[in-house]
Chain A
């Protein structure tokens, strides 16, 4: 697409970023996930601030690439994706819409206030089964298929499921 004659508004750009899927959980966008922390024009350059989720998450590099690609397709050539380490990302930044999308996809959304404090004895959050809604669930492992998830099992419908753990 040809370069734009006028600078699009930040609101409009934010709307475009809502179409950028998370590479691991494509039903939620990078905006839903709360990793886009700032969109700013600095002169002719657009700077998008992105806060990585987990330190070693391989999706981080892909997210930066996809944001730049998406904006390029919209005609923005001069884009820089900046990594912001502080404040650290928290699951509290996942939008309400994002939580609903996660649940519909079969991933239990994070229960806030239940994050791990490195307790001597493990404390399990009250996590609802995304399939049948039962709260009779148990944690199989606090680690799962991606850094952000834990493995759970429903004791009513007996299905295993992923829990997007509070962080």
Chain B
């Protein structure tokens, strides 16, 4: 039986990796120079975090797979990221809203994991939490400014919120693995994380004059390897080099 921490490290690592890959596509194309730089920086932080989580997963699995092997040589069904992070960049409002909904979960999750009983998970989380704090500050600030902005920016942000909201629930929907990890004192209770997430998000959305959809269905599947159609295209681009030239080194 596989170590549940292996699956968990994949989930954390794949979330960071896939969001980093999405954000990287903005490099050189963002609407303002400062934002271009900010997104490249956030992507870089997430990529570094992904490398730590995937290296940890590889060691837990103990089959000799490196972080690179896990990133570049797995097929879609073996990825454990939530559907939210693989959603296409869309317009800038969608990119920002996706980031905000993720950051609002990521920071408390990492802060909690920094105190877990597993020393390896704790040290990765403690480092990553410091970066996630800067990510959440930026995405919150921009959601408020653009939500409470012009008519055009507000309507785009509201549309992005309506479309992405159903995907946020997967971050906090506990499955048997989450429950096992919580019972073993490794991961926090996702119900607790959800309560904190909701209160933070509601406060920011109120400031942003945006309204979260009521009774939206939760769209999930990524945590167990069932991804959206867009995901295959993302992997095709991200993994191209290692697939076409196996073992190529920088």
A residues lining the B interface (CB < 8 Å): 52, 54-58, 85-89, 115-122, 140-145, 147, 151, 165, 167
CB closest chain-B residue, reference A149: B41
Chain B 87-106, CB-CB to A under 8 Å as 1, else 0, gives: 00000000000000001000
Are A116 and B49 interface neighbours, CB within 8 A?
no
Q: Residues of B within 8 Å of A, CB-based: how many?
A: 38
Query: Which DSSP category, helix, strand, loop or mixed, fits chain B's interface?
Result: helix
Contact A120 B45 (CB under 8 A): no
Contacts A86-B123, A143-B138 known; A118 to B45 CB distance under 8 Å?
A: no
Contact across chains for A141 and B44 when beta carbons are under 8 A apart:
no
Q: Which residues of B contact A56 (CB under 8 A)?
A: 43-49, 51
Contact of B49 among A55, A89, A120, A165 (CB under 8 A): A55
Of B2-10, B125-133, B209-217, the one touching chain A: B125-133
Asked if B34 is an interface residue, CB under 8 A from chain A, the answer is yes
Query: What are 16 A-B pairs with beta-carbon distances under 8 A?
Result: A54-B44, A54-B48, A55-B52, A55-B128, A56-B44, A56-B46, A58-B44, A85-B124, A87-B126, A88-B126, A119-B137, A142-B134, A142-B138, A144-B41, A145-B37, A165-B134
Task: Please indicate the chain B residues that have their CB under 8 angstroms from the CB of A120 in the complex.
Answer: 140, 200, 203-204, 207
**Chain A residues with Cβ under 8 A from B38's Cβ?**
141-143
User: Within the complex, what minimum Cβ distance (angstroms) separates A101 from chain B?
Assistant: 23
Residue of A nearest to B123 (CB): A86
Contacts of B82 in A (CB 8 A): none
| Distance A86 CA – B138 CA, assembled complex (angstroms) | 26
Residues of B near A54 (CB, < 8 A) are: 44-45, 48, 131
